[in-house]
Structure formats: structure tokens, C-alpha cells
Amino acid sequence: MKNTAFSRSPQLMSETFLDGFIEPYFKNRHIYMDAVRMHGSPLYILEPDILVNRAIQFRKAFSRSLTWVKCFFAVKSNNLPLVSRLLIKQGYGLDVSSGVELNIALSLGADDIIFSGPGKTVDELELALANASTVTVLLDSIGELERLAALARKNRIKIRAGIRLNNNPDGLWRKFGIPLDALDMCYEMSKKEKYLDFCGLQFHSSWNLNALKQADFIQILGSKLKRMPKAYLESLKFIDIGGGYWPPQGEWLISDQPLEHLHLPADSINHFAEALVGSIREHILNLTDCDIYLEPGRWICNDAMHILITAIDRKEEDLVIADGGTNMVGWERFESDYFPVLNLSNPSNTETPFMILGSLCTPHDVWGYTCFGKDIQEGDILMIPTQGAYTYSLRQHFIKPLPSVVPLRRVMVDEQPYEYSVAMMPQPEDE
């Protein structure tokens, strides 16, 4: 599921760091518990204020130094329509990877959409053509280029197109994009296609704890562009450097000891921006005056959604079954990743070994092996915070029904901000 070849070695997570992380959630525990009392359990909790603030913070980090920068939210990271709707209001475009996501983006009225992803079907390409005024297709292969060109000629529709470049030719990452040394051939083909406006380039690397991989490829790309014809450089309207920015908390992993957790620190988004903008100015903008596109997903939505579950069966002194199963996150995440389980009903800053399992009929239904709480009794409300990225989008209709989403909003009470839950979103299957 995950590439673990990070560029840094994990270190033991300090108790001080973890205490600082959990403190705000315990402080506001009454808000989350109220949501369960009003709407039942299990639940997804969405905090729109956090989502919007992260979107503003991300864009500011890059726009301080880049005049023409455009952010596109990667819908695959959290496909709840409300998330995309809120980000469109912040001036974000949408990055979609399928016809399903493209239809979501169109239904939300997004007016700037980039369509990436491998293996686009004829139906998906025709949907993009039918909405050519708002969609830019990032072509993933020579064959895809030829198919889109044929459809565009047939329908006499001109559409913007970019080339996705492969920046990792090893292993499974060979799946994505066109080799950089094929860019000359793509350019020659583009000159023959009057209905394709070849106006951009894109590359993407994932699981970036720092900017090294991205900055390295920007330098490689710059060296290639120096050798391209002037006419090609003048035709470039954008270069999209993708996403994959790891959230500030970094990567948390399970260790052999239940009360010891491994931590891979991530650079701040300001450090990302400083390194990437420097590389872009040195290797790209000295050759072509184009816009820079960014595709943040995980970094924007990670902290904006949480999971609430309730202990319903205490089977042993150190084992409880919760009403929610890990079909809510879509994979066996917590067998490798560490996230604290917080007992909101019986809180404690001391972490205790405790096996918290879900109610699915599979032994892989694990929420955690420890808990921040004095104990766990039947009826206690448990929280797994910061589950906004690649959890909701991966949810599965497996054994148990999927829960609803409850957004929170801020109101003023005695001139102090107070958050409370509002009406439930529709059930996921009805969206």
C-alpha cells in the first residue's frame, strides 16, 4: 500500500511531541462527544475551518515568491464533495484522476480542472472533450496522446493538453508518465495536431518528507528544456510540479514496543516552498515564462477529518471491540501506521497498552494497540484524529455500513469561538 523508502531514518517519537499533538483534541472533547450524542456512532468529523486554513497557508507559502502560481486540490486524497466545494471557494482548481472524479468536479462547478492519471478510457477522454473549456488533460502515454488526438479531430474540439513526465523509471513507478527522452517526439507529434493545444508539462513524486526529489527533477527537467526548440519553450503555459507534500506531523509508524512509536519528521511547507521556488527560478523560469501548478492533496485535508467510534464490547481486560470497522479507512492502515486512539469519555495523558479492534469479521480490523485513557469501558467514545487524507476516499462497502460525515462550524458564544456539529451530510452512498 505504501512506499516506505523514505529519505530519512525513523526516530523514536518523544512524549512531549505526542502530548502536544493530543492536547487540543482532549481540550475540545465535549464537541466531538456532542456530535456522537446527536448523530450516533461511528462518524466522520469534518472541520472546515482547518481545511480552509491549511489551503490558505499552503498557497501563501508559494505565492510569496512566485507571481503566477495555481493550486489544484487532488480530489483522490479526499473525495467528499464538500471538501472540494470549500476549496473551490478558496480559488483552488481541482486535480482529478478518473471520469468519476471529473464528474464530481463538473457537478461542483469547478472552472479549472486538470485531468491526470494513467489508462484514461475513451469515455473519459470524450467527457474531457465535452468540457474542454474547463479541462486540461495531462497525457500519460504516447498511446493516450494518439487516442485523444483522434477523438479531438473526430469531434472538431480543441482542448488543452500537457505531458506527464516519468521521474522514477524503477519498479511500479514505471506505470506513470512518458520518459523524459521522449519529449522531443511528443513535440514533433504536437505540431501535427491542430485540435490539441500542447501547453504544459507535469511530473509528480509521492511521500515527500522534504523537497529533495522534486528539486532534483526540476534540475533535470531544466537541463532537458535547454535543448528544446525556442518555439516549444514559448508554447509552455504551465509546468505542474505535482503534490506529495507530507503533512507537518510527519510519518508515524508502529515499533516492536507498543508504547514506543517511530517518527519520520517532515519539513514545513515554508521549507518546501523555499527549496522548490529556488530550484524553479534557477532551472525553469530562466528559460520560459510559464505558470507553476501545484497539486496538494494530503497536506491540505489530512488534519481536517477525524474518526469517532464507540466501544461496544469489552471482551478482556485489555481488549475492546468498537462499533466502527476499518472499512472506514479502506485498508489495514493501523497494522503499520501509528495514530493515537483517544478515549474522550475517560481521558488521560498517559498511554496504556490496549487492543482496540473493529467489528468487522476479519482479524485485520485494527484501530490501535494502545489508548490514551484511564481505561476503556463499553459505551466510551474513542477518537482517531487527523484521518482526512486517503481514508475517506478509500472507504469500502465491506460487511458493515459506512457512517455519515458531520461537519463542524464555529459560532461566537460570549465573544469566544465555539464549535458545534450541524446537520449530517448525506450517507456516502447517496452522494
**What is the chain's mean pLDDT, rounded?**
92
pLDDT at position 103 over 50: yes
pLDDT at position 81 over 50: yes
CATH superfamily of 303-423: Lyase, Ornithine Decarboxylase; Chain A, domain 1 (2.40.37.10)
pLDDT at position 75 over 90: yes
Query: Given this chain, do its domains 48-301 and 303-423 carry the same CATH topology?
Result: no
CA distance 148 to 136: 12
Which residues, in sequence order, are CB contacts of 154 under 8 Å at separation 6+?
Answer: none
pLDDT at position 77 over 90: yes
The pLDDT of residue 67 is 87
Mean pLDDT across 334-340: 94
CA distance 346 to 251: 27
What are 180's three cell numbers?
523524459
The pLDDT of residue 410 is 62
Q: Where are the domains of the chain?
A: 48-301, 303-423
Q: What percent of the chain has pLDDT over 70?
A: 93
Could you list the beta-strand ranges (E) of 141-260.
159-166, 178-179, 196-202, 238-240, 251-254
Full-model pTM: 0.93
pLDDT at position 336 over 50: yes
Q: In this predicted model, what pLDDT tens digit does every residue of 145-176 receive, in sequence order? A: 999 999 999 999 999 999 999 998 888 888 99
Strands 251-254 and 261-264: antiparallel
Q: In this predicted model, what pLDDT tens digit does every residue of 260-315 receive, in sequence order? A: 999 999 999 999 999 999 999 999 999 999 999 999 999 999 999 999 999 999 99
Name the CATH code of domain 48-301 (choices 3.20.20.10, 3.40.462.10, 3.40.50.300, 3.40.190.10): 3.20.20.10
pLDDT at position 422 over 50: no
Q: In this predicted model, what pLDDT tens digit does every residue of 11-70 receive, in sequence order? A: 999 989 999 999 999 999 999 999 999 999 999 999 999 999 999 999 999 999 898 999
For 68-92, give one letter per residue: b (16+ CB within 10 A) or e. Answer: ebbbbbbbbbbbbebbbebbbebeb
Question: By C-alpha distance, which of 299, 307, 323 is closest to 391?
Answer: 307
The pLDDT of residue 165 is 97
The pLDDT of residue 427 is 44
pLDDT at position 417 over 90: no
The pLDDT of residue 413 is 53
Mean pLDDT across 392-400: 95
